[in-house]
Amino acid sequence: MAGLARALTVGPLANIGPRERRRRLLAGAAALLVAGGGLAALIALGVPRAWRVALVLPFWFGALGLAQARART
């Protein structure tokens, strides 16, 4: 049945709708803004580089949200 669905579609099959894409886009942008603000604050406060590693997760989730919204997955 999956082969039939692929044969009937012109482009790649999106598994999320426009509302979910927008939600992921906004969540990804918000996570990147928070991570960027956190990085700026840590640099301004002179916090050692080792503590900045904690920002990997917010940057990762932000990039993931933007990538998922763009790829419609």
Three-class SS of 11-51: CCCCCCCHHHHHHHHHHHHHHHHHHHHHHHHHHHHCCCHHH
Q: What mean pLDDT is reported for the chain?
A: 87
43 within some domain:
yes
Structural domain count of the chain? 1
Asked, for residue 12, whether it belongs to a domain, the answer is no
Q: Is 8 within a domain?
A: no
10 versus 50: which is more confidently predicted?
50
In a domain, 6, yes or no: no
Residue 44 structural domain: 18-71
The DSSP output letter for 10 is S
Residue 17 clears pLDDT 80, i.e. is over it: yes
Q: Is residue 4 part of a domain?
A: no
Do the domain assignments include residue 3? no
Instruction: Select the more confidently predicted residue: 6 or 18.
Output: 18
- Asked if residue 34 is part of any domain, the answer here is yes
Q: What is the pLDDT of residues 36-57, one digit of tens each?
A: 999 999 999 999 999 999 999 9
Overall pTM > 0.85: no
Exposed (0-12), middle (13-18) or buried (19+): which is 65, by Cβ within 10 Å? buried
